[in-house]
Amino acid sequence: MPLRLFKNLDPLPDPASTAEPGTGVASHLRTILLLVTSQFREMEQKSGLAATQIWALNVVAANESLGVSALADTMGIHQSTASNILKPLLERGLVDAKRSGEDRRAVHLKLTAKGKRLLAKAPGPFTGVLTAGSGELDPATLRRLERDLGRLVEVLQTKIAADKAVRPPH
């Protein structure tokens, strides 16, 4: 029997028994969204930081003297987004930023003692339950899931664009 983390979730339907194709997919996606947001909320409540900030702290802790662009690359986000995530971490004294001796534009990030203490108390996984959980799937399943979800994203984007083109703006 699957683990039930939410009282208000209905049991997942058997895809073969659902009247409309896609109902099982929608139910699974809703469950994934609830699990991910619940884990992020728990991380935020226990640490006082957003889940992305905890993730950034973890990346900095694992890669001392990391630069902002390397942090962004590691997290798979834009450099300006990484800067926005870092700003409150720097202001709260959780991360220290030192300018490079050679290139004064380059910044090297390092976790402070305060940042290390906070990270030690923060619940994991730091990359998020979705990334951690998907890492436990076998490579073939993961590739197929990535391909199929990518296709679903394309279909949804096309449908939304078509709906917007038909409906005039308010």
CATH second-level architecture of 23-126?
Orthogonal Bundle (1.10)
pTM, two decimals, is 0.64
pLDDT at 158: 93
Q: Which of 132, 124, 104 is nearest to 32 (CA)?
A: 132
pLDDT at 5: 47
User: What would the DSSP string read from start to end of 78-104?
Assistant: -HHHHHHHHHHHHHTTSEEEEE-SS-T
pLDDT at 9: 53
CB contact at 8 A, 95 and 112: yes
CA angle 124/90/35 to nearest 5° reads: 25
- Residue 35 and residue 149: Cα distance in Å, rounded? 18
Q: What is the pLDDT along the chain (170 residues), one digit of tens a residue?
A: 344 444 455 555 555 555 677 788 888 899 988 988 888 888 888 888 888 899 899 999 998 788 999 999 999 999 999 999 999 999 999 999 988 767 667 788 999 999 999 988 887 776 677 887 888 999 999 999 999 999 999 999 999 988 888 776 66
- Residue 39 and residue 36: Cα distance in Å, rounded? 5
- Count how many residues are written for the chain: 170
- Residue 17 and residue 106: Cα distance in Å, rounded? 58
Residues facing residue 99 across a β-bridge: 107
pLDDT at 10: 54
> C-alpha dihedral over 121, 43, 59, 131, to 10 degrees?
130
User: What are the helix and strand counts (H, E) for the chain?
Assistant: 7, 2
CB contact at 8 A, 115 and 95: yes
* Coil, helix or strand at residue 121: helix
All structural domains of the chain with their residue ranges: 23-126, 137-170
CB contact at 8 A, 63 and 70: yes
Diameter of the chain measured on Cα atoms: 66
Residues facing residue 96 across a β-bridge: 110
pLDDT at 2: 45
